[in-house]
Every structure is written in C-alpha cells, then in structure tokens.
Amino acid sequence: MKKQQNNIDHKKVYRKLMSHVWPYRWAFFLALLGNILYGIVDASFIKLFEPLLDKGFVDRDQSFIKWIPYVVVAIFLLRGLATFLSTFFMGWVGRQVVMNFRQKMFKHMINLPASFFDRTTSGETLSKITYNVEQVANACTDAITVLVRESCTALALFGVMLSISWRLTCLFIVLVPLMAGVMHFVSRRMRMVSGRVQDSMGSVTHVAGEAIEGQKVIKAFGGQDYEFNRFVEATQNNRRQEMKLIATSALSIPMIQVIGAFALALTVYLATLNPDNAMGTAMSTGAFAAMISAMIALLKPIKQLTKVNGNIQKGIAGAASIFKFLDEMAERDQGRLEMQSSTGHVAFNHVSFSYENPDISGIAEKTLDNISFEVKAGETIALVGRSGGGKSTIANLLPRFYECEGEILIDGVNVRNIPLKDLRKQIAIVTQHVTLFNDTIGNNIAYGQSATEEDIKHAAEQAHALEFIELLPEGFNTVVGENGVRLSGGQRQRLAIARAILKRAPILILDEATSSLDTESERHIQSALEQLMRQCTTLVIAHRLSTIQKADKIIVIDKGQIIEMGTHKELMQSNGVYNTLRNMQFQEHSEIMTDSLL
Ligand code: ADP
C-alpha cells in the first residue's frame, strides 16, 4: 500500500516537473533529437565493423575500402552535431527551469503568511531555493541527456545485435528483468535517501546562517565551541546521508555490470563452441566481431543509466520538496472593498487569537482572549503591561500578519474585506527591531514608496535623522550594509521613524519604537513623533510608562486579556495594576537618579 502511494507521488511529481519544462519543449525536443542521433550514430559505428572486417580485411574489396575514411569522418561530424544539440539545448532548458523555479519560489515566499516563517528556519528555505533547485535542474537536463542518449545507444546496439543474430540477442535479453529489478530497488532507495540529504543540507545552511547572524553574541558569550559542535553534527549528518547515496550507487553499478558481463561471457562461450554455426546461425568473422563489440559497448550505457538513476531520484526528491513549498498557502487576500484612504478609526471586537503552537495536550493556548476596544480617528492609545502579555500580538493583527477570531474594523470595515495592499497602505509600523536593506539611506527611508528627494529629506529632518545623515561622507547615498550594520541602534531607529513619517499613513503603530534611543535623542524624537501622532491614529506599545502619559486611552494587557482601560488620570486613581507598575518604574527611576548623584 505504502509502495503504491510512493509510486503515485513520484509519477505526479515527475508530471508536474515536466509541466515546467513544457514551455521550452522546442529546445527540449531539439536536445532529445541530438541524443537520439548520438545513440544511432554510435551504434552504426559498431555495425560498420561487420563490413569493415569482412570486406576490408577478409575480402579486401578495394571499392569499399576507399570509402572508409569518408564514412569515419562523416560519422564523427554527425556525432559532433548531436553532442552540440544535446548539450546546448539541454543546458538552456535547465537554466531556464532553475531561474523560473527560483523566481517562482521567491515570489511565493514573500507572499507567505508570518506563521510560515515562525515554523520554518531561513536556512531550510534558502537551501531549497539554492541546493534543491540545482538538483532538479540536473534531473531535468544532465540526467535526461544521459537517459535518452544512453537508452537510444542501448536500443540501437540491440538493433545491431538483432540484425546479426536474434538468438544470441535473446540470450542477452533474458537478463534484462534481473537488471531492471536491481535498478528498481536502487531507485527507491536513492529517492528516499536523497530527501534526507536535502533536509540535512537545510540544517547545514541553517546552522551556518545563524552563526553568521549571531556572530557578536557567539563572541560575547564564548559560544564558538557550541556553534562549531552544532555545525560538526549537521555536516556529519549530511555526510552520512550522502555516503548512503554513494554506497547505493557504488554497489549498483558493479552489480549491473557483472550481470551484463555474465551475459557477455555466456554468449562468447556459446558462439565459440562452434564459431561457424553459433547457436544455429552461421556468422562471418566481421559479424561475430560486431556482435561482441556491440555487447561490450552495451556495458557503457548500462553503467551510465545506473549512475544517472541517482541524479534522477535526487531531482525527484528535490522537486517534491519544492512543490510542497509552492503548495504552502499564501496569505489570504480575498478582500474586495478597496480602501484608498481611511480616517484611521480602529475597533477590535471580541478578538481572540493563538499562534500555531498547540501545547503538549494538543490544545493551543490563547495568546489573546476576547479583546475589544475602540480608537477614534486621530486618537492615541497605549498598550501597556507585563512582557509576554500579548501587546505586540495585537499590533500584528491589525495589518493581518496573522488571522484571528472576532473582528477588527477600520472605518467600520472588517480588515478581512479590505485587499491586503490597501489595508497595509493605511498602516505605518515602527518596531524595536529595525529592518534595513543593504541599500542607500535614501532608498531605505523611501522603501516601498515613490518619493522625491525633498520628501525624503523632510522626513529625515522630522525624525532627527538629518543631523547624522549629513555628517556621512555620501549623505543620503551612503549604503548602510546588511541590516544597517554600519549604523548605531539609535540611528537605525531614526531611519525607521523617518520611513514611517514618509509613508503618511492614517494609522501608526509604535512598538517600543524609541527603546534604542538615548534620553537625549528620545526627547527630540518624542516631539517629532508627537507631531506625527497628532495627524494620525496611533497605537503605542511602550515599556517606559512616562512616555505614554498623554495618550487618550491606556489599555493594560495581561495574559492576553484587557485588565484595565482608561486615561492616565483615571487609572492612577483606580489604584490598580497600572498604578502599581507606574509606581514601580518611578521608584526604579528615582533609585537610578539617586545612585548617579551619590
Ligand atoms: P508582549 O508584546 O506583550 O511582550 P507578545 O505579543 O510579543 O507579548 O507575546 C505574547 C505571547 O505570544 C508570548 O507568550 C509569546 O511567547 C507568544 N508569541 C509571540 N510571538 C510568537 C510567535 N511568532 N509564535 C509563537 N508564539 C509567539
């Protein structure tokens, strides 16, 4: 049953793969033609042995002999043409397939929901886009080249053998099922192990990627040995899986060849018992030599076909993982109510949510439980509370990074009914973790927008970024390095704020947006932000409660629930959690101040 399932999947994968080659069918068929021609030409050369020996050496037929050099040159010219056709056009198809798969996977990846990235490591995905795609290209091109060329050669050689002696050929053919049996077993094993090789390659990329990204933490915490051991484990696993492939291939090639050699030995034995009448067929010297040459020549295609089988199985396993990736559900974007510009009125009605991480009992714990609140256009609300309470999760639900239960409304329209592009146009986000691209400062600020230089400069000025940008040798044209490594935390944060200012969205989300700024910069930016906040609806998540005192509404979140809601004054009077948190922070602050004075 399981075997059958495997077969069905394998055929489906192959069919799907071929559908990606179909647009290039003309080049593909030209290449196939080249391969077929190659096989025929190769076999014809062997067939030529028969008249060559009989007429050239035994009969010494001069009229025949003088043609031999021309025929040899013509055969090799044809062979050259066949090789060119197959190599060039197969290569062309292969590279097209690689490029298309990569582009398709990338496009799909950037439209996958946030939940996909929560459960998959970047290394695994990267490995699919680089390594697995290459394996598939090999299967589509190199492997098919060998498959078609060598099969044609083998068939043509069989034709040659049949034309000389069908009885001896039949003897040879008897062994074909035995070879097929070995090949079948080998294919299954290769496919299975190839999948594991690809997974192990994903781990290698993953561990290496993490070590590159976290290099400072590794140095600071002396994690070099730990990371190296992790990498050793990943590469050892990769090597082990690769060795299984190599062992299977190393065993299968000689096995098939030995079977072929037995057939050859038996034929020679029978033919030489009575050379004049081998198995009832009177054979000339030339015919006998051609027969034996064809049999020996057959060993090469058999060897190649056994070897290429490994590549085809690797390709199928690679293609299966690529198709699985492409089948991942993209973000649902079924909203049809276009929204050009909203007023910024936001409402959460009975919103509940859990990340896709059911606990051991299989029931996912709710990260947000029945959250309801309203923010009028232009108002500022602050979400406060203990870390892990669910504040960032609320901010993540508004742009629909995740799907939730209940409804979230913007201007009375459920966000599910707004096209994602329109919805996200309404929202500017500044988070604690700033993402910058390895591009110029100007392009990073204008990311995703079409803006004039003036606009960019103005936004940078408002975010108090202009003062440091102008000191840089190339100003706005300075390239910031991967994720802005050449900038300080505060500078990065100011660029993120400038980016949000430039977007001029009606809703602004500030998730610990000023946390990397020193008090001095924060004071400057706070005034810029306050100006911006006056123009839009703002959701602020702040750890430092002193910064959100002026908010129109403060919501205290704990364990996914709203436990208090009101203005600063109301909450201070009610003597609840907010009051306690506020007093705790005030006390800490005073202690720090006193310590620094002493
Ligand atoms: P806060 O912003 O209040 O600190 P979060 O909204 O970040 O809290 O997190 C709320 C809870 O959800 C925490 O228990 C956290 O572990 C969990 N959580 C946050 N992000 C994810 C995620 N991507 N996948 C799974 N769980 C998450």
> Along the 598 residues of the chain, how does pLDDT read in single tens digits?
344 444 447 778 888 888 888 899 899 899 989 988 988 888 888 888 777 777 777 777 777 777 778 888 888 899 899 989 988 998 899 889 899 999 999 999 999 999 899 888 888 899 899 989 988 888 877 788 888 888 888 888 888 888 888 877 887 777 777 777 877 788 788 878 888 888 898 889 889 988 888 887 888 778 889 899 999 999 999 999 999 988 988 888 788 778 777 877 877 777 677 655 555 556 677 787 888 888 888 877 877 887 787 788 888 888 988 999 999 988 888 888 888 888 989 999 999 999 875 544 455 678 998 899 999 998 999 999 888 889 999 999 999 999 999 999 999 999 999 999 999 999 998 888 888 888 888 888 988 888 888 889 988 888 888 888 888 888 888 888 777 777 887 888 888 888 988 888 999 998 887 776 666 667 767 776 777 787 889 999 987 777 788 889 999 998 889 998 988 888 888 888 888 887 877 666 666 555 554 5
DSSP 8-state symbol, 346 = E
Task: Give the number of the atom of ligand 1 that is nearest the alpha carbon of residue 394.
Answer: 6
Tokens of 443: 């392009």
Q: Return the structure tokens found at 143.
A: 């492997």
Q: Which residue has the tokens 């394996």?
A: 135
Compute the distance from residue 367 Cα to the ligand 1 centre, in Å.
7
Which residues' Cβ are closer than 6 Å to ligand 1? Answer: 118, 355, 357, 367, 387-393
pTM of the shown model: 0.78
> What is the CA(198)–ligand 1 centre distance, in A?
31
The alpha carbon of residue 369 and the mean position of all alpha carbons in its chain are separated, in whole angstroms, by 35
Nearest to 310, CA basis, from 402, 373, 247, 390 = 247
Q: Which of 107, 113, 101 is nearest to 323 (CA)?
A: 101
Which amino acid would we find at residue 470?
E
Do residues 290 and 50 touch, judged by C-beta distance below 8 A?
yes
Residue 189, pLDDT score = 84
For a substitution probing ligand 1, which of 356, 357, 393 has the most ligand atoms within 8 Å of its CB? 393
d(CA 306, CA 72): 30
Q: How many whole angstroms separate alpha carbon 336 and alpha carbon 323?
A: 29
- Token code pair at residue 222: 């002396």
N residues, the chain: 598
